[in-house]
Structure 1
Amino acid sequence: MKTRTDWLPALAAFESAARHQNFAHAAEELHLTASAVSHHVRKLEARLGIALFQRHARGVSLTTEGRQLADAAGSALTDIDSVVHDLHSRRDDRRLVRLTTLHSFTNSWLTPRLPAFAAAHPDIRLHIDTEIALTRFDDGGPDLGIRHGPGHWQGLVALRLMGETMFPVAAAGLPGIDRIGSAADIATLPLIADNTRQGWHDWFRHAGFHGVQVDPRYVFSDSTAVLEAAAQGLGIGLARQRIVAPWLASGRLLQLPGPELAGRFAYYVVHPAHRRLRPAAQAFVDWLLSQPPG
């Protein structure tokens, strides 16, 4: 006897009833009535010529044959569900863009602009990774990255997104801030730094002060931590123009007197050179490159 496709509703009802050992609970799960579930089960029993359930006053229980069919039906329906879910996920992945970038860049520049992207591309989903370590662009890895650096990385296409400048900032309430009139005065107050390769030494040299002893009181691994420490009044931070914008706009930080230092590095959108970008990732790249830097 071959199992026909018109058996599937009856098998689904039976499998649910067998799992719950209760027709009413199966009906609730399948959005049917209990009588409809009972009808499907009796139809299946009639076709097979065997009893699948023992009916008694307290409810139902599986017969030996019913248990055998329940195990097979449960396994088969689980396999079908798994395949359907996998196929659905693959379809959804065509509209998924996986991005790896910097925590500071994400919070200060990218996230405030994402509502505009969502409005323009409501069908594209973003997964954003802000781990410090550089992510490998292998199979199953991210589609894109936004990196801060010289603009050339082996095996990656690098598209320049924007440059930056660096300048000193502090909270309006920092003790001694009212005495700052030039770059030389900044060296007299506590300095806050991060671990980047361009910092206070470069800024003081650019300002024309070559003999300044730079000994930051606080050093952080993340640029946003520098800005938050400065906003708390711990000292003067050397800010990156793109990252500090929200702090300046809110008034939590002020730009101090002194020159702006052109950043040695810039921000780049990168992706593997060996594979073509999917349409969703290309749409995100095009949107990024169309954004004004400020």
Structure 2
Amino acid sequence: MVKHTEPDQTLIKMPSLRAVKAFVAAARYQNFTRAAEALCVTQAAISRQIRDLELHLGAELFNRAGRAVELTPAGSIFYDAVQLSFTNIAQAAERIRHTESPKQQVTLCCSPAFANFWLGPKLPSFFEAYPEIDLSIVVTQNFLTMENGVTPDILICKMAKSGEGYFSQPLVCDVIYPVCTPQYLEQHPQISSLEGLRDTALLNLSPFGRSQVAEHVDWKVWFAYQDIDLNCRAVEAPLLFNANDFSLLLQLAQNHQGVALGWHYLVAPLVEKGLLVRPVQETLVHRDTLHYLSVAEAKARDASCCKVRDWLTDQFDWSLHEDIDADTQA
């Protein structure tokens, strides 16, 4: 006797995926015509699909106001759910496509400063050594709340735990010292002392808009570590310039606009080349503030991901640690 499968009510009650796709496009562009262009269909088809979807759900999803449309409260709830689902479907399909490709994809997430000053100069050697790997870089300041659909294979940040499903290993601690150009030091020889440094043009890294997962170090903190009160700056001292973008501050420093705090693992190559110098030898070493390399547990045995991980750890050569030890012993 043939056993009949009971009807799957969940699947039966699901709305048409074609209609949901039309809804997502219309919600994203807030315009039925632009949604139609994005999906290569007619505007009438979009309108019909959304009307059928609204009938199926028994709720208005859009407020129509001429050519522009906006989501209703019900539409917003539905959009939040289906957008994430569609993103997951698209990513899964992309992974399946690439399993048949000779190239393997690895996604690395890091901060803008790390990408610009540490990773960028080293990438040509990676491309040459591993032509079989397609490396994708995702740059962010906020590692606590990633955008929907962003699931990095590898992260480099100050978080020992980058979320569920990651293995972490320490890379390097924070070693911070002032840097400026040789020209700026020649024009302002007084900055060779801490008091003279305090009274010069200072390029300050502010915490605003940055995802703080460790102690923030700015000029006030750095000087306090040296027993210098930044509030005692001379009346005629230039104003402090504040920005929450380290790349901008270092660019200004290289353009002879003042002195910035430099993180050793980022600025050491510039110092070695003579593009920047250290006006004073005092250093702040945070041995408890570490940068970590985290690998997704699901990719722990993936050959391409392991190659990228090993390459990154090799690039953090131990000369960095030797320099740190020399600084702390001086």
Alpha-carbon deviations, 1:144-202, whole Å to 9, x = none? Answer: 1111x252344232211222311111123337521223212111111111135112122
Q: Pick closer, same or farther for the CA change 1:93–1:160 going to 2, 3 Å.
A: farther
Q: Percent identity?
A: 21
Counterpart in the other structure of 2:224: 205
Counterpart in the other structure of 2:279: 256
C-alpha contact (below 8 Å) 1:137/1:272 kept by paired residues: no
SS in 1 for 2:184: coil
- One-letter amino acid of the structure 2 residue matched with residue 281 of structure 1: C
Deviation at residue 126 of structure 1 after TM alignment = 0.3
TM-score calculated relative to the size of structure 1: 0.61
- One-letter amino acid of the structure 1 residue matched with residue 111 of structure 2: L
Pair member with larger Rg: 1
Does residue 1:187 correspond to 2:208, yes or no?
no
Which residue among 109, 118, 136 is the counterpart of 2:118? Answer: 109
Does residue 1:171 correspond to 2:195, yes or no?
no
Counterpart in the other structure of 2:268: 245
Counterpart in the other structure of 1:285: 309
Matches within 5 A, 1:114-133: 114-133=123-142
- One-letter amino acid of the structure 2 residue matched with residue 91 of structure 1: E
Question: 5+ unaligned residues in a row in structure 1: which ranges?
Answer: 1-84
SS in 1 for 2:262: strand
SS in 2 for 1:108: helix
Q: Pick closer, same or farther for the CA change 1:140–1:244 going to 2, 3 Å.
A: closer
Alpha-carbon deviations, 1:274-293, whole Å to 9, x = none? Answer: 66452211221122122215
Matches within 5 A, 1:140-159: 141-147=151-157, 149-155=158-164, 156-159=166-169
Distance (whole Å) between structure 1 residues aligned to residue 149 and residue 306 of structure 2: 17
Q: Pick closer, same or farther for the CA change 1:140–1:191 going to 2, 3 Å.
A: closer
Distance (whole Å) between structure 1 residues aligned to residue 191 and residue 113 of structure 2: 28
Q: Pick closer, same or farther for the CA change 1:154–1:98 going to 2, 3 Å.
A: closer
- One-letter amino acid of the structure 1 residue matched with residue 175 of structure 2: T
Matches within 5 A, 1:33-182: 88-92=97-101, 95-134=104-143, 136=146, 141-147=151-157, 149-155=158-164, 156-174=166-184, 177-182=188-193
C-alpha contact (below 8 Å) 1:137/1:271 kept by paired residues: no
C-alpha contact (below 8 Å) 1:207/1:258 kept by paired residues: no
Q: Pick closer, same or farther for the CA change 1:267–1:93 going to 2, 3 Å.
A: farther
TM-score calculated relative to the size of structure 2: 0.55
- One-letter amino acid of the structure 1 residue matched with residue 242 of structure 2: V
Q: Pick closer, same or farther for the CA change 1:140–1:195 going to 2, 3 Å.
A: closer
Q: Pick closer, same or farther for the CA change 1:92–1:222 going to 2, 3 Å.
A: farther
Deviation at residue 88 of structure 1 after TM alignment = 4.9
Deviation at residue 212 of structure 1 after TM alignment = 4.2
C-alpha contact (below 8 Å) 1:192/1:237 kept by paired residues: yes
C-alpha contact (below 8 Å) 1:137/1:143 kept by paired residues: no
Distance (whole Å) between structure 2 residues aligned to residue 107 and residue 152 of structure 1: 24
Distance (whole Å) between structure 1 residues aligned to residue 239 and residue 100 of structure 2: 52
Distance (whole Å) between structure 1 residues aligned to residue 278 and residue 218 of structure 2: 16
- One-letter amino acid of the structure 2 residue matched with residue 283 of structure 1: K
Does residue 1:265 correspond to 2:289, yes or no?
yes
SS in 1 for 2:115: helix
- One-letter amino acid of the structure 1 residue matched with residue 178 of structure 2: P
Question: 5+ unaligned residues in a row in structure 2: which ranges?
Answer: 1-93, 208-215, 321-330
Alpha-carbon deviations, 1:111-136, whole Å to 9, x = none? Answer: 22223333332211101111333363
Distance (whole Å) between structure 1 residues aligned to residue 133 and residue 95 of structure 2: 19
Q: Pick closer, same or farther for the CA change 1:266–1:140 going to 2, 3 Å.
A: closer
- One-letter amino acid of the structure 2 residue matched with residue 248 of structure 1: V
- One-letter amino acid of the structure 1 residue matched with residue 104 of structure 2: R
Distance (whole Å) between structure 2 residues aligned to residue 173 and residue 141 of structure 1: 44
